[in-house]
């Protein structure tokens, strides 16, 4: 499902216009992105938790040449599914 399909599904479920639904979904996603980028955790009970993680610097290898290469440290996005979400996935 892409964003447009999500907008259509939510709009039909809630009974509001697609433009209002798209605005709301975009605002939610933007807020989650800003909060996680700032280091906060965003938690939806029953659905899951978005957070920020750290990946340490490490040495990797170029698969074509086998040459060692330093890979810089990076911040990552973590998502941990909630119990209700996991249960819904396992039931289907």
What pLDDT does residue 68 have? 95
Report residue 5 as tokens: 């399909």
For 59-84, write each residue's pLDDT tens digit.
Answer: 999 999 999 999 999 999 999 999 99
pLDDT category of residue 92 using cuts at 50, 70 and 90: confident
Residues 12, 49 within the same domain: no
Structural domain harbouring 80:
41-92
For 15-51, write each residue's pLDDT tens digit.
Answer: 999 999 999 999 999 999 999 999 999 999 999 999 9
Residues 64, 32 within the same domain: no
Number of domains in the chain: 2
- pTM value is 0.79
Annotate 42-70 with DSSP letters as a single string.
EEETTTEEEEEEEE--EEEE-TTT--EEE
What is the four-CA torsion angle of 31, 32, 36, 42, rounded to 10 degrees? 120
Backbone angles phi, psi at 47, to 5 degrees: -105, -60
d(CA 91, CA 85): 10
């Amino acid at each position: 499902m892409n964003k447009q399909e999500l907008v259509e599904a939510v709009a039909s479920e809630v009974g509001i216009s697609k433009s209002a639904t798209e605005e709301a979904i975009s605002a939610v996603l933007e807020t989650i992105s800003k909060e996680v980028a700032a280091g906060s955790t965003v938690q939806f009970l029953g659905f899951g938790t978005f957070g920020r993680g750290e990946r340490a610097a490490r040495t990797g290898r170029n698969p074509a040449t086998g040459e060692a290469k330093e890979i810089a440290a990076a911040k990552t996005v973590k998502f941990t599914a909630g119990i209700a979400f996991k249960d819904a996935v396992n039931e289907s």
